[in-house]
Amino acid sequence: MNKDLEISGYIVLPLQLPSTPSFPTPATHYLYLRPHEPRIPDPDTPRSLFLVNIPIDTTETHLRHLFSTQLSSGRIERVDFESVRTGKKSDAAKIALLQGTNIAKGKKRKRVTADELEGRLDEFSLPSTWDRQLHRSGSHAVVVFVDKASMEASLKAARKAARKSSAIIWGDGIDESRLPRLGLQRYLAHQRACYPPRADLLRSVNEYMNVFTEVAEARKREAARRAAEPDEDGFVTVTSGPKLTSAAGEEEAKRLIEKQKKKEQGFGDFYRFQSREKRKERQIELLKRFDEDKKKLEEMKMRKGKIRPE
């Protein structure tokens, strides 16, 4: 391959794709990589590589295999895929949660705040029906290595591999049984996974709902505490009556507004001046319509040519 090894600062790493019975034409995939340089760097940035145009069936196993075995350079700590990273908030929450629990452990705090609890809600989700995530074509990933040295070694190895014409075969040598399979088996597995066992379902629901109730209670407590605190002027606002949940309140409000509107409509043609005005409006409307129609006809003629029977 005598092509440019670099494009816009990215190293171009050609990967030979294994041919398949249904499409035997040999194919080469091009992976672009360079050190990760996000706008807001975090502690992991110095030991991360930024990969562009990963194959759609990339898994963490694939990348681990690529860097540690095929390029035999660095060890990978984790891979952040683009499609997963879109839920940044959950990541941040997770980190916060990790830190939070650490702190909680350290200080043996008794009360967890509602926000922290809410973060925990993300832990519980319904079982997934797909055993392997696919990526959209041309998407990118961040590979975090164990240390900066492995990252740099990998980069170097990649550059070398790119220069050499001996091709790296994508996914060659991976233990197939470690990966969920693609193709027919994938779809059959999906059909199976669509109907998870009753117990699993109930467990995730129960866990989620328990935490959710806790959150709701914590929020209520916080609200009560806030309500009991005197404001700047030293007053305490006293509220009473059952509180509708906010969504229900909104629905009720909508209905009331609707009712009020109806009431305001009243009689439209009670007075003579009203009917006169209405008539005038109608006439103006008619005139306007006529002009509009004329314009429309012009447009029609422009579009379809002359009006002529077929």
Partner 1 sequence: MSNHTAKRRKLSCSSDGVPGLEQPTTPESSLNASRPARMNISKIRNTARQPGHSAEMALASGLYKSSLFKLQMDELIAESRPNYDKHLAALGDTLHELKDLIERLPEKPAKHAVEAEKEMRNLHGVTVPYPEPRPSKDTKYSVVYARPTNVNVVGSFALRTGSKLAGPFVVDMAVTMPGSIFQEKDYVNYRYFHKRAYFVACIAAGIKDKKSATLDVKYELQDGDELRPIISVQPAAAAKLDHGYPRYRVRILTAVDDTLFPISRTLPMKVNIRNGCSGGNDDQEHTFYNSSLRSEATVALYHKLLSSAARASESFRDACLLGRIWLRQRGFGSSVHKGGFGGFEWTVLMSLLLEGGGSAGKPLLLKSYSSYQLFKATIQFLAAKDLTEPLLLSAREVSFPSASPVVYDGKRGLNVLYKMTPWSYSFLRQEAGTTLRMLNESREDNFERIFIFKIDEPLLRFDRLVTLPVAEHGDANAVIQRNHAIYGVLQKALGDRVNLIYISSPSGGPSSVESKPHRKQGPRNLSVGLLLDSDNATRIVDHGPSAEQKEAAAAFRSFWGERAELRRFKDGSIRESLVWSEDPSSSIVHQILVYILGRHFAYGEADIGYIGDEFDAQLRNNGDGVLSYSSSAFQMVTDGFNALEKSIQAMEGVPLTVRHLTPTSPLLRYTGLHVDRISGAFPAPADVALQFESSARWPDDLVAIQMTKVAFLVKIGDALTQNGDFSSCQVGLENEQSKILNNAFLDVTHVSGIVYRLRIHQNREQTLLERRVKEQGASPQTKQEIASALAVYKRSFIHSPRLSQAMRTLCTRFPFLSPTVRLLKHWFSCHLFDAYVNEELIELVVLRTFTQPYPWEPPSSVMAGFLRTLHFLSRWNWQQEPMIVDLGGELDQSAVERIRTRFAAWRSIDPAMNSVSMFVGSDIDPDGVTWTQYGMPPKVVAARICTLAKAVMKLVREQGLKLDIPPLFRPALEPYDFVIHLDRKLLQDRSNSVAKFKNLSTLSDPTRAGKHTIVKDFVRDLQACFSPNILFFHGKEQSDVIGGLWNPQTLKPKSWSLALTFSTQPGEATVSINRVAMLNEISRLGLGVISRIDVQNG
Q: Does 245 bind partner 1 (CB under 8 A)?
A: yes
Of 224, 248, 256, 257, the residue at the interface with partner 1 (CB under 8 A) is 248
User: What is the CA angle 298-304-305, rounded to 5?
Assistant: 75
Please provide residue 129's backbone torsions phi and psi, each rounded to the nearest 5 degrees: -100, -5
Q: Does 246 bind partner 1 (CB under 8 A)?
A: yes
Interaction pattern, residues 119-158, with partner 1; x per rule: CB under 8 A: --x---xxxxx----xxxxxxx------------------
Pairing of strands 141-145, 76-81: antiparallel
| Minimum CB–partner distance for residue 149 and partner 1 (Å) | 27
Helix (H) or strand (E) holding 90: helix 88-107
Residue 195 structure tokens: 């109907």
Question: Do 180 and 189 contact (CB within 8 A), yes or no?
Answer: yes
- The CA–CA distances, whole Å, from 103 to 115, 174, 238 equal 15, 41, 36
Cβ neighbours of residue 57 closer than 8 Å, sequence gap 6 or more: 132, 134, 135, 182
CA dihedral 102, 93, 64, 171 (to 10 degrees): 150
Of 105, 262, 263, 306, the residue at the interface with partner 1 (CB under 8 A) is 306
Footprint on residues 23-52 left by partner 1 (CB under 8 A) = 23, 25-30, 52
Window contacting partner 1 (CB under 8 A); options: 70-78, 93-101, 221-229, 239-247: 239-247
| Minimum CB–partner distance for residue 8 and partner 1 (Å) | 5
Nearer to partner 1, 239 or 245 (CB): 245
Of 38, 109, 146, 187, the residue at the interface with partner 1 (CB under 8 A) is 187
Number of Cα atoms under 13 Å in the Cβ half of residue 172: 11
Of 7, 92, 98, 103, the residue at the interface with partner 1 (CB under 8 A) is 7
Helix (H) or strand (E) holding 77: strand 76-81
Nearer to partner 1, 58 or 150 (CB): 58
Q: Does 159 bind partner 1 (CB under 8 A)?
A: no
Nearer to partner 1, 94 or 190 (CB): 190
| Minimum CB–partner distance for residue 250 and partner 1 (Å) | 6
Instruction: Let me know if 189 is exposed, middle or buried by CB neighbors in 10 A (0-12, 13-18, 19+).
Output: middle
Q: Does 279 bind partner 1 (CB under 8 A)?
A: yes
| Minimum CB–partner distance for residue 22 and partner 1 (Å) | 5
Of 37, 56, 147, 223, the residue at the interface with partner 1 (CB under 8 A) is 56
Footprint on residues 83-122 left by partner 1 (CB under 8 A) = 121
Going 276 to 277 to 278 to 282, the CA torsion angle's sign is positive
Q: Does 251 bind partner 1 (CB under 8 A)?
A: yes
Q: How many residues bind partner 1 (CB under 8 A)?
A: 87
Q: Fill in the DSSP letter of residue 20.
A: B
**b/e map of 130-145 (b: 16 or more CB within 10 Å)?**
eeeeebeeebbbbbbb
| Minimum CB–partner distance for residue 184 and partner 1 (Å) | 3
| Minimum CB–partner distance for residue 230 and partner 1 (Å) | 28
| Minimum CB–partner distance for residue 110 and partner 1 (Å) | 26
